[in-house]
Structure 1
Amino acid sequence: MTTLRLSVLDQTPVGEDHTPDQALRASVDLARAAEDLGYTRYWAAEHHGSPGFASSAPEILAGALLAHTSRMRIGTGGVLLPRYEPAKVAEVFGVLASLYPGRVDLGIGRAGGPARDFPRRLADLRALLGEGGAVPHAPVPPQMWLLGAGRESARLAGLVGTEFAFGHFFSPVGGREAFEDYRERFRNATGRPAGGALAVRVVTADSAGRAEELARGLLLWRARKDLGEDAPLPSYETTRRHRWTGAELARAEVHRTALVSGAPEQVHAALTALAASHGVDELIVNTLTADPADRRRSYELLADAFALPPGGPETTVAHAARVPASVPAGR
């Protein structure tokens, strides 16, 4: 039986009673805890112009997280490549991978610019990292991941031979088909089997009731965002006093389908089933709460429920990046 690995996708959430600088420091604290708890990797997300997230420069945050941890893989989930020149991204991650060999992940997203230009940018970046075109050229290049929530990204990841993570929290449907496309193309391109990881939004707590309170706060934030009110995550008190509108309730129900919440044993069962149905052995867990203490507790309970090995898998640091030079770059 395959052991299910857990990792962290951190969007550095800002609660209404907290400031962005406090949220960033909370991310550093959470990364330290996640390493001790046995999580495999820790990714910093990229968002711009949103009061609810402080993660506008994931490569900078990744550098800080690498400096405050020693074993866990650290990276981005992900750099929005259409916003940047591939050469600059290659240089930044060449520096990180040179300083922290064998620990750096480069997760790439396709949002933030023209989609038609993305395959070229991805091919340029892979060439710079894989053939030594970027200075410094790290002895162990970063492991490249393509992130997506649809079949197009999955097919591209398979064609060029990168790792692939599907954003279930963006789109809870279509993941199985996306992984099928990815694995078929990856096998044809590289001659090797592919795995992949599923990124899931999760909230758990010491009781089902407390987990539901936290879930309602997250759903209220998400519903408001859909309806044009982009704000920090509401506190427990704000959520408890809130009188929901019909439109908010409707949007919350839409997003609840992409949220796994409940007591630890309930969440364990749901996540195990999700991993099995998508054929993955790694879940990248995204948890959003207004209070960093609630977020940390959620990850602690998950680690305990899944009996993660303290300090993480033995192969975490030794796991080499793959940027296969012989795979076609795509067009």
Structure 2
Amino acid sequence: MRLSVLDQSPVPDGGTEAEALRASLALARAAEELGFARYWVAEHHGSAAFAGAAPEVMVGAVLAVTTSMRVGSGGVLLPRYPSAKVAEVFRILSALHPGRVDLGVGRAGGPADDFPRKLVELMARLGPEPPVWLLGASTGSAELAARLGTGYCFAHFLNPDPGEAAMSRYHAGGSVRGDVAFDATGGDAVPEPRGAVAVRVVVADTAGEADASAEAFLLWRSRRDLGHDETLPASDRVRRHRWTPAELDRAAVNRRTLVHGTAEQVRTALIGLADAHGVRELVVNTLTHDPADRLRSYRLLAEAMADTMAAPDTMAHL
């Protein structure tokens, strides 16, 4: 099993974007020490809750404060940019840090119809490095990743329902010739599918503490769904909040996207989730108001999963 990090640089109530970005760098250093395989940074624009609007900048910053962990985007919103520019940026990052850079891309942010063409163009301009991952939450994105021979990371934290079908399509897709499982239309073929599932997780020392962090996330996410773009709420604000019926309805939906509990409870749930999706890598996203709680969650998870995690010297060709 490999565990990785998906970081959105969350901004807490009363905090600043600069503090959120510095907290991301601190988390990256800790994640490497804890044995996480990758550290991916997200791209969000115009959001009060997330500071990470330029993943290529954060990828460079995280590479600079780590030494061995793979670092990448999770992901660049390709429809927003010329493929040539994205390729140039990530080829430079990969040249400066060979064997450590991943390029994850998503189709949000622009016309979806043109996305496959832009992805093929991007891969052709990149060559074999850095490896490309397609991030998605549908069977269609899984099939595209299979056809092009990219890695595929399913966004369980956005919509868990199509996950098992999407990963099945991905693992079954492409053409099989000898030990090459996929046709890489835009670049070199990969020897086997690289599949992962991105899942939202909160781990705490006690079930009660995990429940409190989960409620804070659910309040933030439910209000965001209803058009209230806010920073991550503190626990005292959550305790005082009077939930509306609409917020409760959204919380019921969003609760399905969250795995939370003690370390042992979460370990059991994540192993089951990985088995159900046929993957050996989980990309973990944790959102809490306090960066210390976020770091504690990742630390508890790494300790609980230590006997299943791949050794660092096996991660060079992920």
CA contact (8 A) 2:103 2:130 kept: yes
What residue identity is the alignment partner of 2:129?
Answer: P
List alignment gaps of at least 5 residues for structure 1. Answer: 131-139, 321-331
Instruction: Pick the aligned partner of 1:89 from 80, 83, 86.
Output: 86
Aligned to 1:137: none
| Residue 315 of structure 1, CA deviation | 2.6
Aligned to 2:145: 157
What residue identity is the alignment partner of 1:304?
Answer: E
| Residue 312 of structure 1, CA deviation | 5.5
For 1:51 and 1:311, the matched residues in 2 are separated by: 36
Instruction: Pick the aligned partner of 1:168 from 156, 166, 174.
Output: 156
| Residue 179 of structure 1, CA deviation | 1.1
List alignment gaps of at least 5 residues for structure 2. Answer: 182-190
Aligned to 1:329: none
Matched, 1:182 2:170: yes
CA contact (8 A) 2:3 2:309 kept: no
Aligned to 1:326: none
CA contact (8 A) 2:202 2:297 kept: yes
Aligned positions of 1:167-316 closer than 5 A:
167-188=155-176, 190-191=180-181, 192-307=191-306, 313-316=312-315
Q: TM-score, normalised by structure 1?
A: 0.90
Report the number of matched residues.
307
Aligned positions of 1:67-146 closer than 5 A:
67-130=64-127, 141-146=129-134
For 2:154 and 2:3, the matched residues in 1 are separated by: 14
Aligned to 1:319: 317
CA contact (8 A) 1:9 1:199 kept: yes
What residue identity is the alignment partner of 1:230?
Answer: D
Secondary structure of 1:203 counterpart: strand
For 1:261 and 1:165, the matched residues in 2 are separated by: 21
What residue identity is the alignment partner of 2:68?
Answer: R
CA contact (8 A) 1:203 1:262 kept: yes
For 1:188 and 1:154, the matched residues in 2 are separated by: 17
For 2:215 and 2:192, the matched residues in 1 are separated by: 40
Q: Structure 1 residues 126 and 266, CA, compared in 2 at 3 Å: closer, same or farther? A: same
Aligned positions of 1:17-32 closer than 5 A:
17-32=14-29
For 1:195 and 1:124, the matched residues in 2 are separated by: 21
Aligned to 2:45: 48
| Residue 187 of structure 1, CA deviation | 4.8
What residue identity is the alignment partner of 1:79?
Answer: V
For 1:36 and 1:81, the matched residues in 2 are separated by: 31
Secondary structure of 1:76 counterpart: strand
Structure 1 stretch displaced more, 235-244 or 181-190: 181-190
Structure 1 stretch displaced more, 233-242 or 80-89: 233-242
| Residue 308 of structure 1, CA deviation | 6.1
Aligned to 1:60: 57
CA contact (8 A) 1:46 1:77 kept: yes
CA contact (8 A) 1:38 1:309 kept: no
What residue identity is the alignment partner of 1:272?
Answer: I
For 1:59 and 1:195, the matched residues in 2 are separated by: 22
CA contact (8 A) 1:187 1:194 kept: no
What residue identity is the alignment partner of 2:262?
Answer: A
For 2:61 and 2:160, the matched residues in 1 are separated by: 32
What residue identity is the alignment partner of 1:74?
Answer: V
Structure 1 stretch displaced more, 305-314 or 197-206: 305-314
Aligned to 1:324: none
For 1:249 and 1:16, the matched residues in 2 are separated by: 21
| Residue 270 of structure 1, CA deviation | 0.5
For 1:312 and 1:35, the matched residues in 2 are separated by: 12
Secondary structure of 2:288 counterpart: coil
For 1:27 and 1:158, the matched residues in 2 are separated by: 32
Q: Deviations over 1:225-269 (max 9, x none)?
A: 011111001011111111111111111110001100011111000
| Residue 309 of structure 1, CA deviation | 8.6
Q: TM-score, normalised by structure 2?
A: 0.94
| Residue 183 of structure 1, CA deviation | 1.4
For 2:223 and 2:79, the matched residues in 1 are separated by: 28
